[in-house]
Amino acid sequence: MSAEDVVKDLGSKLLAGEVKVIDLSGSLGPETPVLQLPPDFAKNTPRVEIHKISEYDEDGPFFAWNWMVLGEHTGTHFDAPHHWITGKDYEEGFTDTLDLQRVVAPVNVLDFSKESAEDADFLLTPDHVKSWEAEHGEIREGEWVVMRTDWDKRGNDQATFLNADESGPHSPGPTPDCIEYLLSKKIVGWGTQCIGTDAGKAGDLDPPYPAHNFLHRDNCFGLASLANLDQLPAKGAILIAAPLKIRRGTGSPIRAMALVPV
């Protein structure tokens, strides 16, 4: 089929509801959980603030609008290569310079929700990924890989979402070897449903925060706090995850979405 016919067909199927758009973002507001770094780092990203400018009142009789306080790495969001020191030298590593062609791509959804429910510190290994591939098919160059943990079902409560105790936050993520394996397949990026692309205890891994370290070293992207991955097939959907075009931005909240055949 020609590219022209494919796009024309996709348009018809979207209009007919035979291809559905699945919302993969959580809502952004003062309750949205945000990362809490360990105490050795003094500064944290702020909670979201939404301030009214007017709502059909004396400050604006015909219109409603707001202004916001919003960190780049807040809620469902995108990590650009410049976010990490290992990716600092990529000129195309910023939200305004990255190659937009790369962020629309097939997505592999690795369901490890059961394992994550049983162990909040569950770490995904290369063997887990290889057995997933044996069942569902190989992960290919340019594709997204996302890990389903159903963490979005914890809702917007910061304590429940971060799941921290005296020993720090507990949430699933990849091992260093797992990210290296996925990068050997030349994926475009890695996404999770937790607060960041790394596990809660990833500060103790070698290197610390391996998903951030390795993904951005290789000019690849990260996605965090993805919602509704339980509505996606293991393969066969297209993920669209485009950051705002923030000037020399290191990341951005996104309205992540997937195109799924019904």
User: What residues act catalytically?
Assistant: 83
Does 73 participate in binding ligand 23J (rule CB under 6 A)?
Answer: yes
Quote the least distance from Cβ 122 to ligand 23J, whole Å.
Answer: 17
Pure H helices in the chain? 3-15, 113-118, 126-136, 158-162, 176-184, 210-217
Half-sphere exposure of 244 (CA within 13 A, CB side): 15
Does 124 participate in binding ligand 23J (rule CB under 6 A)?
Answer: no
Q: Which does 128 bind (CB under 5 to 8 A by kind): ligand 23J, Mn ion, none?
A: none
The 3-state DSSP class for residue 81 equals helix
Q: Which is nearer to ligand 23J, 34 or 109 (CB)?
A: 34
Contact between residue 136 and residue 108 where contact means Cβ atoms under 8 Å apart: yes
Among residues 73, 82, 216, 217, which is the contact residue for Mn ion, using CB under 5 A?
73
User: Strands (DSSP E) along 93-156, which ranges?
Assistant: 104-111, 123-124, 144-148
Q: Which does 216 bind (CB under 5 to 8 A by kind): ligand 23J, Mn ion, none?
A: none
Report the alpha-carbon distance of residue 10 to residue 6 in Å, rounded.
6
The 3-state DSSP class for residue 54 equals strand
Tokens of 37: 């770094």
Tokens of 144: 């997204």
Q: Which is nearer to Mn ion, 191 or 251 (CB)?
A: 251
Does 198 participate in binding ligand 23J (rule CB under 6 A)?
Answer: yes
Q: Which is nearer to ligand 23J, 148 or 216 (CB)?
A: 216
Does 198 participate in binding Mn ion (rule CB under 5 A)?
Answer: no
Q: Which does 169 bind (CB under 5 to 8 A by kind): Mn ion, ligand 23J, none?
A: none
Report the alpha-carbon distance of residue 251 to residue 82 in Å, rounded.
8
Instruction: Restricting to residues 213-232, name those near ligand 23J by CB under 6 A.
Output: 224
Q: Which residues bind ligand 23J (CB under 6 A)?
A: 35, 37, 73, 79, 83, 196, 198, 209, 212, 224
Q: Which residues bind Mn ion (CB under 5 A)?
A: 73, 79, 251
